[in-house]
């Protein structure tokens, strides 16, 4: 009987030490099963943001949106759809989230006059990035980033 109790104690200890190892391995796997998603809407306004009318603000379809980091290096790009929505997906093994947020901006250098002839034909829109949280889809962990607010820069083409 004592031998059975001793065996049970050893099995219990082995099981308890295996749980943290499994969690550590799952943490590594979930890091490999992650994505960084940058998405947003570009509006056809003087600053690219939603106007005071909210839903009646026109969008900017087919605008090229670039993710630029450091000294103007384009690391990803997307084109807005009919609804002015863009989306980029990045590999977290190639990009560090904190570096993206502090060292990168979204750039729209498609002339605003393409969506409204009354808007400028030179310059462009620039926005820093904002992290809004993670989404779990199955085993996939998605870090969600949005533009924190576009601003119009008349000399944007000369900044990068």
Q: Are 37 and 87 in contact (CB under 8 A)?
A: yes
Helix ranges (H only) for the chain are: 2-32, 97-103, 156-159
If asked whether residues 23 and 79 sit together in one domain, one would say no
Task: Give the tokens for residue 124.
Answer: 């462009």
If asked whether residues 15 and 71 sit together in one domain, one would say no
Cβ neighbours of 83 (radius 10 Å)? 10
If asked whether residues 10 and 73 sit together in one domain, one would say no
If asked whether residues 53 and 111 sit together in one domain, one would say yes
Q: What are phi and psi of 63, to 5 degrees?
A: -90, 140
If asked whether residues 19 and 89 sit together in one domain, one would say no
**pLDDT tens string 37-61:** 999 999 999 888 887 766 678 999 9
If asked whether residues 68 and 7 sit together in one domain, one would say no
Task: Give the tokens for residue 152.
Answer: 């119009």
Rg (CA), the chain: 24
**Rounded-to-integer distance, Cα 36 and Cα 139, Å:** 14
If asked whether residues 80 and 148 sit together in one domain, one would say yes
Cβ neighbours of 44 (radius 10 Å)? 18
pLDDT band at 78 (very low <50, low <70, confident <90, very high): very high
If asked whether residues 63 and 25 sit together in one domain, one would say no
Name the residue range of residue 121's domain: 35-159
**pLDDT tens string 92-148:** 888 889 999 999 999 999 999 999 999 999 999 999 999 999 999 888 899 999 999
What total of structural domains would you count in the chain? Answer: 2
Least confident of 27-36, 75-84, 88-97: 27-36
* CATH label of the domain that carries residue 91: 2.60.40
If asked whether residues 117 and 91 sit together in one domain, one would say yes
Closest-CA residue to 121 (of 77, 157, 160, 86): 157
């Amino acid at each position: 009987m004592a031998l059975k109790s001793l065996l049970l104690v050893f099995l219990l200890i082995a099981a308890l030490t295996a749980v943290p190892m499994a969690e550590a391995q799952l943490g590594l796997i979930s890091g490999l099963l992650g994505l960084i998603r940058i998405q947003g809407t570009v509006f056809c306004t003087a600053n690219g943001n939603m106007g005071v009318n909210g839903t009646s603000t026109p969008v900017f379809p087919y605008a090229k949106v670039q993710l630029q980091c450091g000294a103007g290096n384009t690391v990803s790009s997307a084109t807005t759809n009919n609804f002015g929505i863009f989306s980029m997906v990045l590999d977290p093994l190639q990009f560090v989230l904190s570096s993206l947020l502090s060292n990168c901006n979204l750039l729209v250098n498609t002339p605003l006059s393409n969506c409204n002839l009354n808007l400028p034909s030179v310059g462009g829109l620039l926005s820093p990035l904002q992290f809004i949280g993670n989404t779990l889809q199955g085993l996939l962990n998605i870090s969600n980033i949005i533009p924190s607010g576009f601003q119009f820069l008349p000399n944007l083409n000369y900044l990068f």
